[in-house]
Amino acid sequence: MKRIGIISDTHGYWDDRYTRHFSDCDEIWHAGDVGDYSIIGRLSEICRVRAVCGNIDHGETRRKLRETEIFDCEQVRVLLTHVGGYPGKWARGLERLLKDYEIRLAVDGHSHILKIMYDQGLGILSVNPGAAGLQGWHSVRTLVKLTVDGAEMRDCEVIELGRHKHK
Protein backbone atom coordinates (compact mmCIF):
# COMPACT_ATOMS: atom_id res chain seq x y z
CA MET A 1 0.00 0.00 0.00
CA LYS A 2 1.26 3.46 -0.91
CA ARG A 3 -0.04 6.90 -0.01
CA ILE A 4 0.59 9.31 -2.88
CA GLY A 5 0.71 13.11 -2.78
CA ILE A 6 -0.18 14.73 -6.10
CA ILE A 7 0.77 18.30 -6.97
CA SER A 8 0.99 20.39 -10.12
CA ASP A 9 1.60 23.88 -11.42
CA THR A 10 3.76 25.18 -8.57
CA HIS A 11 5.36 27.66 -11.01
CA GLY A 12 8.37 27.98 -8.69
CA TYR A 13 6.30 28.69 -5.59
CA TRP A 14 7.05 26.84 -2.33
CA ASP A 15 4.50 26.60 0.46
CA ASP A 16 5.65 25.02 3.75
CA ARG A 17 2.24 23.35 3.99
CA TYR A 18 3.33 20.96 1.22
CA THR A 19 5.59 19.35 3.83
CA ARG A 20 2.82 19.06 6.41
CA HIS A 21 0.23 17.67 4.01
CA PHE A 22 2.59 15.21 2.31
CA SER A 23 4.41 14.03 5.46
CA ASP A 24 2.37 10.78 5.54
CA CYS A 25 3.04 10.03 1.85
CA ASP A 26 5.30 7.36 0.39
CA GLU A 27 5.68 9.24 -2.91
CA ILE A 28 4.89 12.66 -4.34
CA TRP A 29 3.99 13.02 -8.01
CA HIS A 30 4.46 16.47 -9.58
CA ALA A 31 2.50 16.83 -12.84
CA GLY A 32 4.57 19.62 -14.37
CA ASP A 33 5.02 23.38 -14.51
CA VAL A 34 7.48 22.98 -11.66
CA GLY A 35 8.92 26.41 -12.42
CA ASP A 36 12.20 26.03 -10.53
CA TYR A 37 13.96 22.71 -10.04
CA SER A 38 14.59 23.54 -6.37
CA ILE A 39 10.91 22.66 -5.77
CA ILE A 40 11.73 19.04 -6.67
CA GLY A 41 14.65 19.08 -4.23
CA ARG A 42 12.48 20.36 -1.41
CA LEU A 43 9.74 17.81 -2.13
CA SER A 44 12.43 15.09 -2.16
CA GLU A 45 13.24 15.94 1.46
CA ILE A 46 9.72 14.66 2.32
CA CYS A 47 9.77 11.40 0.35
CA ARG A 48 10.44 9.95 -3.10
CA VAL A 49 9.37 12.25 -5.96
CA ARG A 50 8.31 11.43 -9.50
CA ALA A 51 7.93 14.48 -11.72
CA VAL A 52 7.48 15.60 -15.30
CA CYS A 53 8.17 18.95 -16.93
CA GLY A 54 5.42 21.23 -18.16
CA ASN A 55 5.04 23.86 -20.85
CA ILE A 56 6.55 26.68 -18.72
CA ASP A 57 9.55 24.64 -17.60
CA HIS A 58 12.98 25.35 -19.06
CA GLY A 59 16.66 25.11 -18.16
CA GLU A 60 17.55 22.58 -15.46
CA THR A 61 13.94 21.44 -14.99
CA ARG A 62 13.53 20.70 -18.71
CA ARG A 63 16.88 18.89 -18.84
CA LYS A 64 16.22 16.69 -15.79
CA LEU A 65 12.54 15.81 -16.26
CA ARG A 66 10.76 14.07 -19.12
CA GLU A 67 7.39 15.17 -20.50
CA THR A 68 5.75 11.82 -19.69
CA GLU A 69 6.47 9.04 -17.23
CA ILE A 70 4.79 5.62 -17.29
CA PHE A 71 5.38 3.40 -14.27
CA ASP A 72 3.72 0.89 -11.97
CA CYS A 73 2.62 1.79 -8.46
CA GLU A 74 1.64 -1.38 -6.65
CA GLN A 75 -0.49 -3.15 -9.33
CA VAL A 76 -1.64 0.06 -11.06
CA ARG A 77 -0.03 1.29 -14.29
CA VAL A 78 0.30 5.09 -14.06
CA LEU A 79 0.78 7.79 -16.67
CA LEU A 80 2.15 11.08 -15.33
CA THR A 81 2.20 14.00 -17.77
CA HIS A 82 1.47 17.70 -17.84
CA VAL A 83 -1.03 18.16 -20.68
CA GLY A 84 -3.35 15.17 -20.54
CA GLY A 85 -6.94 16.30 -20.70
CA TYR A 86 -9.66 14.21 -19.12
CA PRO A 87 -12.21 11.51 -20.01
CA GLY A 88 -14.00 12.46 -23.20
CA LYS A 89 -11.46 15.23 -23.88
CA TRP A 90 -8.07 13.51 -23.76
CA ALA A 91 -5.14 15.39 -25.33
CA ARG A 92 -4.33 14.50 -28.92
CA GLY A 93 -2.86 11.00 -29.18
CA LEU A 94 -3.22 10.28 -25.48
CA GLU A 95 -6.17 7.90 -25.72
CA ARG A 96 -4.10 5.55 -27.89
CA LEU A 97 -1.21 5.71 -25.38
CA LEU A 98 -3.59 5.00 -22.49
CA LYS A 99 -4.91 1.91 -24.28
CA ASP A 100 -1.52 0.67 -25.54
CA TYR A 101 0.09 0.84 -22.10
CA GLU A 102 -3.02 -0.36 -20.22
CA ILE A 103 -2.99 2.73 -17.99
CA ARG A 104 -5.32 2.63 -14.97
CA LEU A 105 -4.40 6.00 -13.43
CA ALA A 106 -3.73 9.12 -15.50
CA VAL A 107 -2.32 12.13 -13.64
CA ASP A 108 -1.85 15.53 -15.25
CA GLY A 109 -1.92 19.26 -14.59
CA HIS A 110 -1.87 22.26 -16.94
CA SER A 111 -5.50 23.38 -16.69
CA HIS A 112 -5.19 24.67 -13.10
CA ILE A 113 -8.62 23.08 -12.61
CA LEU A 114 -9.03 20.38 -9.97
CA LYS A 115 -10.72 17.48 -11.73
CA ILE A 116 -11.03 13.86 -10.63
CA MET A 117 -13.02 11.67 -13.02
CA TYR A 118 -13.37 8.03 -13.94
CA ASP A 119 -13.32 7.03 -17.62
CA GLN A 120 -15.82 4.15 -17.72
CA GLY A 121 -14.93 3.16 -21.27
CA LEU A 122 -11.19 2.90 -20.66
CA GLY A 123 -11.30 1.93 -16.97
CA ILE A 124 -9.02 4.80 -16.01
CA LEU A 125 -9.07 7.14 -13.04
CA SER A 126 -8.06 10.63 -14.18
CA VAL A 127 -6.61 13.01 -11.57
CA ASN A 128 -5.71 16.65 -12.09
CA PRO A 129 -4.77 18.14 -8.70
CA GLY A 130 -5.40 21.71 -9.84
CA ALA A 131 -2.66 24.25 -9.17
CA ALA A 132 -0.56 24.66 -6.01
CA GLY A 133 1.27 27.82 -7.09
CA LEU A 134 0.37 31.48 -7.38
CA GLN A 135 0.49 31.89 -11.17
CA GLY A 136 -2.68 31.36 -13.18
CA TRP A 137 -6.43 31.75 -13.19
CA HIS A 138 -7.39 29.28 -10.47
CA SER A 139 -9.28 30.62 -7.45
CA VAL A 140 -8.22 28.04 -4.86
CA ARG A 141 -4.80 26.38 -4.58
CA THR A 142 -5.15 22.60 -4.24
CA LEU A 143 -3.32 19.32 -3.67
CA VAL A 144 -4.59 15.73 -3.84
CA LYS A 145 -3.70 12.60 -1.88
CA LEU A 146 -4.61 9.08 -2.96
CA THR A 147 -3.94 5.58 -1.67
CA VAL A 148 -2.91 2.85 -4.10
CA ASP A 149 -3.34 -0.56 -2.48
CA GLY A 150 -2.61 -3.45 -4.81
CA ALA A 151 -4.90 -2.87 -7.80
CA GLU A 152 -7.23 -0.60 -5.81
CA MET A 153 -7.19 3.21 -5.76
CA ARG A 154 -9.00 4.70 -2.77
CA ASP A 155 -9.12 7.35 -0.06
CA CYS A 156 -8.83 10.24 -2.49
CA GLU A 157 -8.49 13.48 -0.54
CA VAL A 158 -8.58 17.05 -1.86
CA ILE A 159 -6.61 19.59 0.16
CA GLU A 160 -7.43 23.27 -0.25
CA LEU A 161 -4.55 25.62 0.50
CA GLY A 162 -6.71 28.71 0.38
CA ARG A 163 -7.90 31.40 -1.98
CA HIS A 164 -5.57 32.71 -4.64
CA LYS A 165 -5.48 36.34 -5.79
CA HIS A 166 -4.76 36.50 -9.50
CA LYS A 167 -1.58 38.23 -10.61
- Residue 88 · residue 64 · CB < 8 Å: no
Residue 52 backbone phi and psi in degrees, to 5: -125, 160
Q: Is the pLDDT of residue 164 over 80?
A: no
Cα separation, 21 vs 36, whole angstroms? 21
Which DSSP letter does residue 91 get?
P
Q: Is the pLDDT of residue 21 over 70?
A: yes
Q: How confident is the model at residue 78 (pLDDT cuts 50, 70, 90)?
A: very high
Q: Please give the order of strands across the beta sheet that includes 152-163.
A: 48-51, 27-30, 2-7, 140-149, 152-163
What tens digit of pLDDT does each residue of 55-69 get?
999 999 999 999 999
**Which pLDDT value is given to residue 166?**
55
What pTM did the predictor assign? 0.96
